[in-house]
Structure 1
């Protein structure tokens, strides 16, 4: 098992400073039934919260959602920690998570992520956040996305070597047996599964990783909604196979995120799913994670906004 520093030192990785354009187009993971095994695979526990890209500029810290939307106001405690501890020109990718009674609490993270600036401070005290970091996209303004995973991992551990919580790197191993132990034993702590990454893989805005979850899920694009725009009751999603279906009832935290997206995308038009159910269209760019086991039916269960 190898969890510590891997690959060459950061000084050997850095090249000509080119910067990372913000917002970052994020890398994604494909859901698979079984963990890949063999030489060249690395594994990380899957922390369930809200995806967050953190960019430490010369003056401040900016937090970005996968959609590109700025979400710094909802995660002020993490931004303050990043400004105090990170070097300017650092760009990190990871998950904003909340722990409740020793378990990851995705619902609390959704509440934090959907908070208004007015509520953000109070919620930060009630649900303090942690930043579980799994990738380093830039160091000192140098773009590392073309470098292999193991070199970016080395950069990540060096950058965070003296950084205290709430910002911490996720564990990683190249031992599939250790990853399987994580998959089974960390479930009670709310860890959602394991993510597998090729040692040689660069960081790309595509499905370059693989993930195994305790409940098999898939990513789907939101194409519309049912109910009022300010509080959608169900959402229409397009599944990877091209089918459009409606969700089950949308939980309040997801509905708040939908409402913001609908407001930003403007008025939609009437449309119907493949089963003939009516909905109002909305703009592109909003992804959700749905339970794959329900995909054979006319509705799906939305887990969270991605």
Structure 2
């Protein structure tokens, strides 16, 4: 399932027809309730059922045919922890089960792509999909980790969320037109305002082996190409799973003259905004 993506904007849009949802800090996940099982898919399309097995078990409570889009998150203490979600996503199945016992995951749902019986809802407006999603989730047992994202049609409430919830792991707010359908790829009908510590960059290459890259060559928003600092082991494993599926096309050099292996664009990573003024950037996560 190719997922819909929001356009990054500096501030929330205002006007008739906008709806607002909190943007939690986790891993984008699509949940498929099949006839007798559950499948979980990462944004890339990769099967991640084994690492989010606790969510797969909870998904069995959903009607067959349902497909949900949302975010797999892990709460540590009283904060949504992206680091904990990253550790889970990069773990082998046995280790993921151990982590799930310590810190069970939540699946924060924001869209219903198919209803009971597999009825495709992607062509219907957001407000209709939202209502149908709430009806489906209302049938889950009390305390289910599969939960609806908080949403409002009041921009002042959305601004309060943006201003006050960052410390508990809410990284911003997404605005969606009430009439918008679910379209794969990036669309101005969905817009996200994130806290300004990070920006998105396109991966154009890497150093080291593709399965475990040491650093990434990224194209920054201002058009420059730069080499990142060394990746952490979990992040290298996650990015590497995408790089091995992309063809390489020779060697390239950054604006500073550093060599790297060129790969097809398409992978997007988040980098610390404060580092983009320099020749080396810090990658914080896969987008």
Q: Distance in 1 between matches of 2:196 and 2:229?
A: 17
**1:105 equivalent in structure 2:** 81
**2:25 equivalent in structure 1:** 48
Output aligned runs, 1:191-210, within 5 Å: 191-208=170-187, 209-210=190-191
- Deviations 1:42-100 (Å, cap 9, x if unpaired)? 111110110000011112111111111111111111011101x1111111100000001
Q: CA 1:200/1:65 → structure 2, altered by over 3 Å: closer, same or farther?
A: same
Residue 153 (structure 1) shift: 0.5
Whether the aligned pair in 2 keeps the contact of 1:271 and 1:278 (CA below 8 Å) is yes
**2:271 equivalent in structure 1:** 290
**2:44 equivalent in structure 1:** 67
- Deviations 1:251-271 (Å, cap 9, x if unpaired)? 222111123333444666322
**1:182 equivalent in structure 2:** 161
1:262 aligns with 2:243: yes
Residue 168 (structure 1) shift: 0.1
1:127 aligns with 2:103: yes
**1:91 equivalent in structure 2:** 67
Pick the aligned partner of 1:115 from 82, 91, 97: 91
Bigger Cα displacement from structure 2, 289-298 vs 94-103: 289-298
Residue 249 (structure 1) shift: 2.8
How many residues matched?
282
Q: Distance in 2 between matches of 1:201 and 1:217?
A: 27
Q: Distance in 1 between matches of 2:266 and 2:48?
A: 16
Structure 1: where are the runs of 5+ without partners? 1-23
Output aligned runs, 1:236-275, within 5 Å: 236-240=217-221, 242-265=223-246, 269-275=250-256
TM-score (norm 1): 0.86
Residue 120 (structure 1) shift: 2.0
- Deviations 1:96-132 (Å, cap 9, x if unpaired)? 0000110010011001111112322112112211000
The structure richer in strand per residue is: 2
What's the secondary structure of 1:118's corresponding residue?
helix
**1:11 equivalent in structure 2:** none
Q: Runs of 4+ in structure 1 displaced over 6 angstroms?
A: none
Bigger Cα displacement from structure 2, 153-162 vs 244-253: 244-253
What's the secondary structure of 1:67's corresponding residue?
coil
- Deviations 1:176-199 (Å, cap 9, x if unpaired)? 010111111212211111111111
Residue 285 (structure 1) shift: 4.1
What's the secondary structure of 1:276's corresponding residue?
coil
Structure 2: where are the runs of 5+ without partners? none
1:79 aligns with 2:56: yes
**1:3 equivalent in structure 2:** none
